[in-house]
């Protein structure tokens, strides 16, 4: 038995024992675990953004535990087993990679690059019963992530700009439409046009091979860092931010920004 197998079976055994003996673990349901799983996923996302490999390792462990937890509860309710979960994803990977695993009907599918792989993936999903190319995008995804996934899905059927210059022209067009709506003071239309602009910028980020969600989160973290440093600097001057002018705060902000950029 490999070390990976031993480690996995040890974790499964611990999960089973906790479910049988720990009052907290016994009480949990798939519903009670749901929000914790979402939280763990975001903690993993934070670790990835920070390039914190130690954190990534820890959060992956937490998510693996949740998978075992859901599977244990499902087994108790005669819904499915952990083995079925594992075999299910294994079979899906084999079916969805006909360029690696030939089938009896079509043999080995030839692909030239990763885009061919993605297109084949989407075609196979439609054959499996998906009614739309976009149907695999969860409705509960954060809006930025959802926009990225929708655009990636649409790309697989050829609904895509040819180059980044065309996308930027669309961004500029959306900026003008937003300005027009603002000038006309059409609140609902302003929100629509603002959304269109963000959607176009996310599309432009894809063409630049940038993760728009990650880019925005990096900016959020940068803002938090600079703002808290500004608060600390104000305290050194025996001042509170709400007692300072915008000019005074801006001077501190720019000094902090310059320090971080050097």
Listing DSSP states for 184-251 in one string gives TT-HHHHHHHHHHHHHHHHHHHHHTT--HHHHHHHHHHHHHHHHHHHHHHHHHTT--GGGS-HHHHHH
* Model confidence, pTM: 0.75
- Length, in residues, of the chain: 262
Binning pLDDT at 50, 70 and 90, where does residue 262 land? low
Q: Which residues contact 103 (CB under 8 A, 6 or more apart)?
A: 95
Q: What is the mean pLDDT of residues 207-232?
A: 94
Query: What percentage of the chain carries pLDDT values higher than 90?
Result: 76
pLDDT of residue 112: 86
Contact in structure between 147 and 195 (CB atoms under 8 Å)? no
pLDDT of residue 174: 97
Question: Which residue(s) pair with 107 in the sheet?
Answer: 103
Binning pLDDT at 50, 70 and 90, where does residue 4 land? very high
What digits encode the pLDDT tens for the residues 252-261? 999 999 988 8
What digits encode the pLDDT tens for the residues 106-119? 788 888 888 888 88
Contact in structure between 230 and 261 (CB atoms under 8 Å)? no
What digits encode the pLDDT tens for the residues 92-101? 999 889 999 9
Q: What is the mean pLDDT of residues 44-68?
A: 96
What digits encode the pLDDT tens for the residues 185-214? 988 899 999 999 999 999 999 999 999 999
Binning pLDDT at 50, 70 and 90, where does residue 105 land? confident
More confident residue, 51 or 121: 51
Q: DSSP secondary structure string, 169-194?
A: HHHHHHHHHHHHHHHTT-HHHHHHHH
């Amino acid at each position: 038995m490999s070390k990976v197998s031993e480690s996995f079976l040890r974790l499964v055994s611990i999960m089973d024992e906790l479910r049988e003996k720990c009052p907290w673990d016994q009480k949990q349901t798939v519903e009670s675990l749901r929000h914790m799983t979402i939280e763990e996923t975001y903690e993993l996302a934070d670790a990835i953004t920070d390039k914190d490999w130690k954190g990534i390792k820890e959060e992956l462990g937490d998510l693996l535990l949740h998978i075992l937890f859901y599977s244990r509860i499902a087994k108790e309710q005669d819904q499915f087993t952990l083995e079925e979960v594992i075999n299910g994803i294994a079979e899906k990977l084999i079916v969805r990679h006909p360029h690696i695993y030939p089938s009896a009907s079509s043999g080995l599918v030839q692909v030239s690059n990763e885009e061919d792989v993605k297109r084949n993936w989407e075609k196979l999903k439609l054959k499996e019963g998906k009614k739309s190319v976009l149907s695999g995008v969860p409705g509960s995804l954060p809006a930025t992530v959802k926009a990225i996934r929708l655009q990636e899905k649409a790309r697989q059927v050829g609904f895509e700009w040819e180059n980044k210059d065309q996308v930027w022209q669309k961004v500029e067009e959306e900026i003008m439409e937003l300005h027009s709506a603002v000038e006309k003071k059409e609140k609902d239309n302003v929100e629509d046009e603002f959304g269109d602009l963000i959607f176009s910028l996310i599309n432009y980020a894809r063409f630049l091979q940038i993760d728009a969600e990650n880019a925005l989160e990096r900016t959020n973290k940068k803002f938090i860092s600079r703002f808290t440093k500004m608060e600390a600097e104000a305290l050194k001057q025996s001042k509170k931010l709400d007692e300072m002018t915008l000019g005074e705060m801006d001077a501190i902000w720019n000094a902090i920004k310059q320090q971080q950029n050097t």
